[in-house]
Chain A
Amino acid sequence: NAGVTQTPKFRVLKTGQSMTLLCAQDMNHEYMYWYRQDPGMGLRLIHYSVGEGTTAKGEVPDGYNVSRLKKQNFLLGLESAAPSQTSVYFCASSYVYNEQFFGPGTRLTVL
């Protein structure tokens, strides 16, 4: 089992460019999440999904969109990247809201 995988691992964008981060899990989990980690800020929830076709906003959703077309995939989109979105992004999945399994992260820099 690969667990939770994230693509890409690193990315550099220019302000205004768009991109999509892909998260995939092979544990048949219903719940999936996108977090960002910034120095001194811990893990902040961007968006999450409680099942295929559903999405919900987390603590810091502005500037991001998500889609969960398949149970095993959760996509995070940035339509017009800003320097404030420079961060490390983590995807996670779980059966219920408790124990979450995290991916290795995507380091994004917006110039």
Chain B
Amino acid sequence: DQQVKQNSPSLSVQEGRISILNCDYTNSMFDYFLWYKKYPAEGPTFLISISSIKDKNEDGRFTVFLNKSAKHLSLHIVPSQPGDSAVYFCAASRGNTPLVFGKGTRLSVIA
């Protein structure tokens, strides 16, 4: 049973436009959500996070939105740059349990 779902395996966006990556979760007990970015042949790196008490968190070009009623979060990248091309993983946690990761979305930013 997949608790964290990233239903789009891939996404292509023109440079300078907005990239929107989506993530759905099934466990209403999740209280912290994170996005990781992964380049080929490297380990994932932390990008941005949000607590369940917030509905938005912004860090430069990256914004994460959380809709608890819909059990949905999204990552917005504005403007998108070629260096943003990577695999993005959504992850969630609840209390004292390890992170649960989605399967990832491959973003391609086309110059």
| Chain A residues within 8 Å of B, Cβ to Cβ | 4, 33, 40-45, 48, 58, 90, 92, 97-105
Partner of B99, one of A90, A98, A101: A98
- Chain A residues with CB below 8 A from B46, complex form: 99-101
- Most A CB atoms within 10 A — which of B97, B102, B104? B104
- Chain B residues with CB below 8 A from A101, complex form: 46
CB–CB B99/A100 < 8 A: yes
Which range holds the interface residue count of chain B? 20 to 34
20 of the cross-chain contacts (CB-CB < 8 Å) are A42-B6, A42-B104, A43-B89, A48-B98, A90-B44, A97-B93, A97-B95, A97-B96, A97-B98, A98-B32, A99-B34, A99-B46, A99-B49, A100-B99, A102-B36, A102-B43, A102-B44, A103-B43, A104-B43, A105-B41
| Chain B residues within 8 Å of A, Cβ to Cβ | 6, 9, 32, 34, 36, 41-46, 49, 89, 93, 95-99, 101-104
